[in-house]
């Protein structure tokens, strides 16, 4: 986010029809006047920047050229050892610093790069003929120039590629090299590739049909409506895929049997007695978004469930112009079809599930940036959330596989997430919707890959489960399912790495990972295991170690010291199966450009209402749950990972439903396509799903 020659890209906030928070203070003050390029100087001794060559087996199609492009040089924090020590101290019970969070601005004061470091990097870039300006924080420096000058400055090459899906992109095909005098202060260069294309992780159930309308008698009944059905079978799915024969499907008490109601969701996870003190009162929560939405949809949903006098406490903050007026970085791409209202189904889902669990929050801020291809606008949005430091809980349901994110992007993100952690902000992210193979929907590859940002050490990764055959019908308070009912989300256990066979309709297991989905999980290709990730099940036969060769031809957790066990995800889980999903209301029209909801929701049994799933729902559910906890306790919990792993080691049954894969009532799913569910921690469902009352109140 800049305060330079882009008036809508810097510190200014645009209104989406509701209250708006201005970008001010330390965040807005980070801009500086762009400096004039200086003549090139002789090249000094060079050192290769570790991790700067992105792995790929895609076909090259020629050199990439651009008359102007902008990259962001991510600078390393000052005193990284001190930063890591403070993070450990703040999150270690018994330490004098435990729970003592920093105030807004203090993180930069303690850990921003020194002026000497920043000046040295900027001076070098100017000697290479680049125009230099401040980035969205003290940890970023912008450099703009032609692709020829960019490649010369970073001593690399830029090439065009095409992936198995036919998607074209550019990336550097040689490692970055920088003067030895400055390389230690640089973590990476964001913008040398345009593969950081964040995707929504919301999923609608595939049936080929919409549920039949409820009869008037069923609508007034307290039992099951006439449109309810059993859990989807392999026979139904195979007939749909092979013969295009649809099937009726209905689940939950939402209009038209389209998903769980707020009351059902809270009941099935054992929420305490509903009151403002247990439903987020006084707390400011936030969602990270990359699409516009209609506030009228949220009002319709909220007043259907909470009455006509309920007003959703929404506020909007746009970053870099937002998705309706994108101010894209020079040379970046913010395609119209991926902006506008293109992700309205995601935004509405995030807001509605947040209000389902925490309806009494004081503010629910919807942060929104353009959806770009290099990741620079996403970094600006995360930076805005951290620098404002007004939201105590944040959920992001947008992500990409680590392979596509790249080392520069994940390291730049990590600094922001460390800032959030030290400020006591809790951030949650969806673990992915294609099982252990997170790249399938983005680039078509079937490598075992985790999701970013959920695999980040200071982000809580939220996986997906399913209630399978437990359909509460229209019962508003069905209670918690019997032990052993809830499974990992993997519809009929079809997602796998198996070849085409009769039991997967001759499609192969990867097809079903993409078609019907499964909860994400696995080991990070970048990050080592954080100090807090301990407990039963964390060490297993699935554990990988830095330096080990993995299936994509690279080494595991490349940013960690050799021999270090890798960061594992998810940390926790919640219901994400679209066939046992949540009730959503979302509409669109000709006036909502590129609206996803406009393409289908008007044809639903009850127009505008439909069921929705994906780890896009489990992430905001957990974020809202911690908003409830913060409201009840009157203070921030901060990053919950150290806390939940301490519970795993002491009293997991009090706080979690352990998804073991061994329950008598489990119908099908026992893995997420690769990693099995086991007692204790596993890379399919993490520690387990929440018991609301214990997590909110401690009882």
Q: CA 656 to CA 529: how far, in whole Å?
A: 22
pLDDT confidence of 55, banded at 50, 70, 90? Answer: confident
pLDDT over 60 at 289, yes or no: yes
pLDDT at 20: 36
- Residues 6 or more apart whose CB falls under 8 angstroms from that of 425 comprise 385, 386, 389, 391, 392, 393, 394, 636, 638, 639
The dihedrals phi and psi of 56, each to the nearest 5 degrees, come to -160, 150
CA–CA distance, 179 with 165 (Å, rounded to integer): 38
Bond prior to 570 in cis (omega within 30° of 0):
yes
**Quick one: pLDDT at residue 33?**
39
How many CB atoms sit inside 10 A of residue 441's CB? 18
47-63: average pLDDT: 93
pLDDT for 699 equals: 87
CATH number for the domain whose boundaries are 216-469+478-697: 3.40.50.200
- pLDDT per position as a tens digit, 579-627: 999 999 999 999 999 999 999 999 998 999 999 999 999 999 999 999 9
Alpha-carbon gap, residue 618 to 605, rounded angstroms: 25
Please state the rounded mean pLDDT for residues 253-266.
97
**Res 222 pLDDT > 70:** no
What residues have CB less than 8 Å from 31, skipping those under 6 apart? Answer: 2, 3, 4, 10, 11, 133, 134
Whether residue 441 has pLDDT greater than 50: yes
Residue 9, pLDDT above cutoff 80: no
> Each residue of 90-131: pLDDT tens digit?
999 999 999 999 999 999 999 999 999 999 999 999 999 999
Q: pLDDT per residue over 444-479, tens digit each?
A: 889 899 999 999 999 999 999 999 989 999 999 999
Q: CA–CA distance from 648 to each of 179, 535, 550, 597 (Å)?
A: 46, 6, 28, 40
The pLDDT of 349-368, averaged and rounded, is 98
pLDDT score, position 484: 87
Name the band, by pLDDT with cuts 50, 70 and 90, for residue 17: very low
Q: What's the gap between Cα 335 and its chain centre?
A: 20
Q: How many CB atoms lie within 10 A of CB 195?
A: 25
Q: Looking at 118-122, 273-277, 318-322, 362-366, which range is the least confident one?
A: 273-277
- Helices 615-633, 344-357: axis angle to 10 degrees equals 30
pLDDT of residue 669: 82
Measured CA to CA in angstroms, residue 530 lies from 169, 340, 538 at distances of 33, 38, 12
Instruction: Give the other-Cβ count within 10 Å of 103's Cβ.
Output: 10
SS (H, E, C) 572-603: EEEECCHHHCEEEECCCCCCCCCCCHHHCHHH
Predicted confidence (pLDDT) at residue 21 exceeds the cutoff of 50: no
| SS3 readout for 654-687 | HHEECCCCCCCCCCCCCECCCCECCCCCECCCEC
Q: What does pLDDT average to over the chain?
A: 90
Question: Which stretch, 26-35, 201-210, 265-274, has highest mean pLDDT?
Answer: 265-274
Mean pLDDT of 389-394: 98
Mean pLDDT of 630-642: 98
Confidence check: pLDDT of 18 > 50:
no
CA distance 589 to 591: 5
- Dihedral (C-alpha) 552, 554, 557, 563: value to the nearest 10 degrees? 120
**Domain residue spans in the chain?**
216-469+478-697
- Check whether 38 has a pLDDT greater than 70: no
Contact 584, 599 (CB under 8 A): no
pLDDT per position as a tens digit, 529-543: 999 999 999 999 999
pLDDT at 165: 82
Average pLDDT of span 188-209: 84
Strand partners, 612: 582
Beta strands in 64-191 (DSSP E): 69-75, 131-134, 140-145, 158-162, 168-172, 177-179, 186-190
Token digits of residue 177: 């090299």
Q: Is the pLDDT of residue 39 over 60?
A: no
In angstroms, the Cα distances linking 501 to 238, 239, 509, 649 are 12, 15, 9, 41
């Amino acid at each position: 986010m800049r305060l330079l020659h882009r008036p809508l890209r810097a510190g200014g906030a645009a209104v989406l029809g509701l209250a708006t928070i201005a970008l001010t203070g330390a965040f807005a003050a980070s801009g500086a006047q762009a400096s004039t390029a200086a003549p090139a100087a002789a090249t000094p001794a060079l050192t290769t920047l570790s991790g700067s060559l992105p792995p790929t087996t895609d076909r090259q199609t020629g050199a990439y050229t651009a008359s102007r492009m902008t990259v962001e040089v991510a600078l390393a924090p000052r005193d990284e050892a001190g930063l890591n020590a403070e993070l450990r101290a703040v999150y270690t019970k018994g330490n004098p610093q435990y729970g003592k969070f920093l105030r807004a601005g203090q993180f930069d004061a303690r850990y921003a790069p020194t002026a000497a470091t920043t000046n040295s990097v900027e001076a070098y870039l100017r000697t290479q003929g680049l125009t230099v300006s401040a980035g969205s924080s003290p940890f970023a420096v912008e450099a703009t120039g032609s692709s020829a000058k960019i490649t010369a400055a970073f001593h690399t090459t830029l090439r065009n590629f095409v992936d198995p899906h036919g998607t074209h992109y550019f990336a550097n095909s040689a490692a970055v090299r920088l003067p030895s005098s400055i390389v230690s202060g640089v973590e990476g260069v964001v913008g040398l590739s345009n593969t950081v294309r964040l995707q929504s992780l919301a999923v609608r159930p595939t049936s080929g049909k919409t549920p039949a309308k409820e009869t008037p008698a069923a609508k007034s009944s307290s039992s099951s409506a006439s449109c309810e059905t059993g859990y989807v079978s392999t026979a139904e799915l195979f007939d749909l895929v092979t013969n295009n024969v649809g099937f009726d499907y209905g689940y939950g008490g939402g209009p038209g049997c389209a998903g769980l109601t707020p009351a059902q969701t809270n009941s099935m996870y054992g929420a305490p007695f509903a009151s403002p003190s247990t439903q987020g009162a006084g707390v400011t929560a936030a969602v990270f978004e990359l699409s516009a939405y209609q506030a009228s949809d949220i009002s319709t949903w909220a007043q259907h469930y909470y009455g006509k006098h309920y007003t959703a406490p929404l506020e909007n903050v746009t970053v870099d112009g937002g998705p309706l007026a994108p101010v894209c970085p020079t040379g970046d791409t913010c395609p119209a079809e991926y902006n506008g209202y293109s992700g309205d189904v995601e935004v509405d889902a995030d807001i509605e599930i947040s209000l389902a669990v925490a309806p009494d929050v004081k503010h629910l801020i919807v942060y929104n940036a353009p959806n770009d291809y290099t990741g620079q606008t996403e970094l600006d949005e995360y930076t805005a959330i951290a620098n404002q430091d007004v939201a105590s809980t944040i959920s992001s349901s947008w992500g990409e596989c680590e392979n596509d994110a790249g080392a520069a992007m994940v390291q730049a993100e990590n600094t922001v997430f460390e800032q959030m952690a030290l400020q006591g902000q809790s951030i949650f992210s969806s673990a992915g919707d294609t099982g252990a193979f997170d790249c399938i929907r983005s680039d078509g590859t079937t490598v075992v890959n985790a999701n970013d940002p959920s695999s980040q050490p200071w982000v809580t990764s939220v996986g997906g489960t399913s209630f399978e055959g437990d359909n509460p019908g229209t019962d508003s308070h069905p209670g918690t399912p019997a032990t052993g009912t809830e499974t990992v989300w993997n519809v009929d256990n079809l997602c796998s790495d198996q070849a085409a066979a009769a039991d997967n309709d001759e499609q192969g297991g990867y097809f079903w990972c993409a078609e019907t989905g499964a909860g994400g999980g696995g080991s990070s290709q970048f990050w080592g295991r954080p100090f807090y990730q301990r407990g039963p099940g964390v060490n297993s036969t699935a554990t990988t170690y830095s330096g080990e060769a993995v299936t994509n031809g690279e080494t595991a957790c490349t940013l960690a010291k050799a021999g270090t066990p890798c960061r594992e995800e998810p940390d926790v889980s919640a219901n994400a199966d679209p066939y046992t999903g949540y009730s959503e209301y979302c509409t669109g029209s000709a006036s909502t450009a590129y609206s996803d909801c406009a393409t289908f929701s008007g044809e639903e049994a009850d127009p505008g209402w439909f069921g929705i799933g994906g780890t896009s729902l489990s992430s905001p559910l957990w974020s809202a749950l911690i908003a409830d906890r913060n409201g009840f306790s009157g203070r921030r919990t901060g990053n919950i990972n150290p806390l939940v792993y301490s519970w795993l080691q002491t009293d997991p049954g009090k706080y979690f439903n352990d998804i073991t894969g061994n329950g008598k009532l489990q119908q099908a799913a026992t893995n997420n396509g690769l990693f099995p569910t086991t007692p204790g921690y596993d890379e399919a469902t993490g520690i387990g799903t929440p018991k609301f009352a214990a997590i909110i109140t401690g009882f």
